[in-house]
């Protein structure tokens, strides 16, 4: 007599294979990779337009602002127009109009990606009901309940806003609300001299605004190679920015016509407005993480493993919400690699282990690889090759002579170990060195730059000049 087989438990039925919360670079990376693999994907965006903080409040508008101000500086300082023009000035609101056009173009482009790849877009605030179920609450209060086998959190971050500062005051801003600045300040205090604070110090000083930059540490951007950090400090100082190191605020007084910043050291500072740019907070407080047993740290950030997996196996997280390096470029790759893990493939996490840093001050800073300080601490016998932009024909033609390129290489194997660039177009120039660093075998040595013909005149020629300079130091 045949024995009756036990029925296998039915596979749960979900509306989607995956739901992605957030449409910034990280969320887009996850959604596109999964959609191209044939998965049924939905994305949830709390705001009216896709793109996340990168497109609307961070990377794109601030870099568009920077470009406009940089061109304004170039025009006012160019000897070509010196004899027949009056120095030009623009208000912040006028420059923002150009930035708004760029934001709109990027939003339309990013929206088309979701349409083309048949990714369903929901607008509203997402929160967990359980590990496979999300509630989406729209602005009008109506709700959707969505289910998926896997969920990716890519909710990004927002400016850290301590409760003892009144950010509703019309003269007190954070790095998001500064984009709505509608008056024409003659002076500004920027509290926080990280990447965002340093970038805005350059932008406002370029517009002729008196800038006081308050730094909590003893040097600017201490993660950079020390020479590059010193170059930025000197350039800001030389352009009239007053930098105060090792200071913390005690209180902020918002007045009708000004803002007063009281420091713990006893100093008092006064300006037309204040930009508070001291850190960011992960957007996790509205997700209902308690329902799935995930905990964020005190800055709202989530911990993940090498597959971008949270403590819950089917829930992943990428981008600013997981903290360092908090770069749009890294977030997009993290999204792609998380999608690979969600598909059961091997992730290429090594590709985000040594990513370039781009800092859009005026002029730019960019680097990839090791700093001199790291190599010295590790007792690596390295040498330095340097090219100053003022010696390059292309820089002289374009009047972009501030800055230099530095190549760090092993003095025995000649392997390129680090590239550090300060100057106009640094974030573009660094990629040439990055490409050589990624080569295998003898292809990643400094000899490449000597044995390759570069177009002349170009900024890329700096690599040949720096390589020869470095090799001349070896004996």
Torsion angles phi and psi, residue 331, rounded to 5: -60, -40
Cα–Cα separations (whole angstroms), residue 455 to 42, 101, 430: 47, 34, 17
Torsion angles phi and psi, residue 96, rounded to 5: -65, -25
**Which residues, 6+ apart, have CB-to-CB distance to 349 below 8 Å?**
306, 307, 337
Q: Which residues define the annotated binding site for NAD(+)?
A: 192-199, 279
Helix ranges (H only) for 89-247 are 92-116, 195-206, 226-238
Q: Which residue in 202, 203, 201 sits closest to 192, CA to CA? A: 201
Q: Which residues define the annotated binding site for FAD?
A: 45-54, 63, 155-157, 320
Contact 106, 51 (CB under 8 A): yes
Tell me the C-alpha distance between 458 and 475, whole Å: 30
| Structure tokens given for 218 | 């003893």
Percent helix, strand and coil across the chain, each to the nearest 5: 35, 25, 40
3-state DSSP call for residue 73?
A: helix
Tell me the C-alpha distance between 224 and 228, whole Å: 7
Contact 48, 23 (CB under 8 A): no
Tell me the C-alpha distance between 244 and 247, whole Å: 7
Tokens 């100082």 sit at which residue? 237
Q: Which residues define the annotated binding site?
A: 45-54, 63, 155-157, 192-199, 279, 320
């Amino acid at each position: 007599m045949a024995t009756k087989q036990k029925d296998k438990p039915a596979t749960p039925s979900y509306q989607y294979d995956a739901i992605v919360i957030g449409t910034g670079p990280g969320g887009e990376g996850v959604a596109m990779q999964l959609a191209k693999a044939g998965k049924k994907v939905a994305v949830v965006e709390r705001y009216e337009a896709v793109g996340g903080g990168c497109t609307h409040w961070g990377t794109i508008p601030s870099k568009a602002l920077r470009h406009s101000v940089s061109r304004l500086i170039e025009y006012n300082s160019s000897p070509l127009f010196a004899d027949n023009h009056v120095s030009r000035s623009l208000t912040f609101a006028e420059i923002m109009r150009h930035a708004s056009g760029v934001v709109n173009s990027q939003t339309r482009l990013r929206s088309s990606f979701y349409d083309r790849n048949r990714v369903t877009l929901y607008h509203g605030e997402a929160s967990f009901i359980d590990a496979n179920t999300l509630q989406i609450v729209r602005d009008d209060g109506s709700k959707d309940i969505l289910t998926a086998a896997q969920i990716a959190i890519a909710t990004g971050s927002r400016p850290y806003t301590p409760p003892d500062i009144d950010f509703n005051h019309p003269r007190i801003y954070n790095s998001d609300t500064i984009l709505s600045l509608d008056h024409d300040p003659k002076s500004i205090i920027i509290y926080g001299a990280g990447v965002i604070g340093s970038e805005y110090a350059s932008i406002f000083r370029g517009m002729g605004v008196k800038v006081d930059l308050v730094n909590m540490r003893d040097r600017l951007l201490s993660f950079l190679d020390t020479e590059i950090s010193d170059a930025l400090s000197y350039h800001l100082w030389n352009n009239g920015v007053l930098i105060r190191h090792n200071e913390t605020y005690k209180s902020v007084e918002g007045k009708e016509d000004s803002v007063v910043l009281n420091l713990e050291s006893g100093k008092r500072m006064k300006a037309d407005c204040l930009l508070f740019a001291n850190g960011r907070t992960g957007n996790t407080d509205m997700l209902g993480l308690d329902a799935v047993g995930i905990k964020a740290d005190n800055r709202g950030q989530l911990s993940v493993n090498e597959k971008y997996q949270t403590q819950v196996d089917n829930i992943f997280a990428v981008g600013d919400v997981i903290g360092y390096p908090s770069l749009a470029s890294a977030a997009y790759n993290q999204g792609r690699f998380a999608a690979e893990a969600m598909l059961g493939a091997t992730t290429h996490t090594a590709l985000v282990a040594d990513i370039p840093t781009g800092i859009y001050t005026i002029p730019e800073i960019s680097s990839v690889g090791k700093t001199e300080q790291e190599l010295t601490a590790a007792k690596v016998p390295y040498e330095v090759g340097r090219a100053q932009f003022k010696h390059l024909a292309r820089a002289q033609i374009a009047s972009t002579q501030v800055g230099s390129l530095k190549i760090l290489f092993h003095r025995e194997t000649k392997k390129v170990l680090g590239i550090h660039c300060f100057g106009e177009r640094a974030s573009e120039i660094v990629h040439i060195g990055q490409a050589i660093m990624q080569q295998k075998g003898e292809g990643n040595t400094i000899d490449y730059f000597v044995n390759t013909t570069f177009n002349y005149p170009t900024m890329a020629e700096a690599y040949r000049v720096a390589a020869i300079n470095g090799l001349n130091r070896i004996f």
